Amino acid sequence: MPRNPNWTRDELILALDLYFRLGSAAVSESHHEITALSRLLNELPIHPSRAAAQHFRNAASVYMKLSNFKRLDPDYAGKGLDAGSKQDEVVWEEFASRRDLLARTAAAIRSNVQSMGGHQGPQLIEEDNEFLEGRLLARLHTVRERNPALVERKKRLVLSQTGRLACEVCSFDFAIVYGRLGHGFAECHHLVPLSELDGTRAVLPEDLAVVCANCHRMLHRSRPMISVLELRGLLAAPNRDG
Ligand SMILES: [Zn+2]
Ligand SMILES: [Zn+2]
């Protein structure tokens, strides 16, 4: 019988959020929030082969995961379950002191479930950026900022306003550096923080920033993701190491 796949960061974010929301309330496997999370985890397009696994993320396994967190919780008087994964600890470390971000991130995942396309939608790829906020929201970010119609609208708008497509971080202009080849080329970065992605609201041109490929990579490399303004600040900072 295939084993259940390990819990991913996205799943642990949802579980830890529920752990804190339930607080010290005594709950059982049949608590409605536990069964609701079990249903949600079965809907998320994270584990393509989950159907083959036994009792994938059923209420008992969600309940067990919440018990795993107890061992990491200094506020928990009992001992908690000894078992648990390294990844439980990582997610606990990162979010136990950032409960607000945790709650917003979990809410953003829930609010976007419909646009994730379920198991028929695009699968997460291992190499996808693993952000603090998990892969599901990171993929949505990428899908949104690569929406061809929206990107086209944004670029036309900026061209009509400024006459060029300069990077909003470093001012790099592909048309100036590469001549005709670079004409009309620029990337777009979605400005809404991952934890605030709202599945009920359409993406607008003002949600995007025009950036060069280098600056875009640097924005995606930062953990948590920094803003265009913050990256501009890094660029301007004199190098004091040398
Ligand atoms: Zn740039
Ligand atoms: Zn981006």
The pLDDT profile of the chain, 242 residues, written as one tens digit per residue, is: 667 889 999 999 999 999 999 987 778 999 999 999 999 999 898 887 766 666 899 999 999 999 999 989 988 877 666 677 899 999 999 999 999 999 999 999 999 988 887 666 655 555 556 788 888 898 888 888 999 999 999 999 999 999 999 999 999 999 999 999 999 999 999 999 889 888 888 889 999 999 999 999 999 888 778 899 999 999 876 665 54
Centre of ligand 2 to C-alpha 144, Å, is 9
Residue 110 burial (10 A CB sphere; 0-12, 13-18, 19+): middle
Same structural domain for residues 38 and 107? Answer: yes
Residue 15 and residue 113 in one domain: yes
pLDDT of residue 131: 81
User: Based on the domain organization, do 92 and 183 belong to the same domain?
Assistant: no
CB of 191 closer than 8 Å to CB of 145: no
Centre of ligand 1 to C-alpha 209, Å, is 11
Which of 84, 119, 154 is the last residue before a domain boundary? 119
Q: Are residues 108 and 63 in the same domain?
A: yes
Q: What is the pLDDT at residue 23?
A: 87
* 15 and 115 belong to one structural domain: yes
Q: What are phi and psi of 188, to 5 degrees?
A: -120, 140
Ligand nearest to the CA of 215: 1
In a domain, 218, yes or no: yes
Tell whether 2 is covered by a domain: no
Indicate if 173 and 90 belong to the same structural domain: no
Range of the domain at 218: 146-236
Whether residue 128 is contained in a domain is answered as no
Q: How far is the CA of 210 from the centre of ligand 2 (A)?
A: 10
Cα dihedral 107, 110, 116, 119 in deg (nearest 10): 140
> Domain boundary residue among 119, 137, 169?
119
72 three-state secondary structure: coil
What is the domain count for the chain? Answer: 2
126 within domain boundaries: no
Residue 107 CB contacts under 8 Å (≥ 6 apart), including other chains: none
* Residue 242 domain flag: no
Q: Which of 101, 119, 137 is the last residue of a domain?
A: 119
- Which residues surround the ion ligand 1 when the cut-off is CB under 5 Å? 167, 169-170, 172, 212, 215
For residue 242, the model assigns a pLDDT of 46
Q: 162 CA distance to ligand 2 centroid (A)?
A: 22
Ligand nearest to C-alpha 214:
1
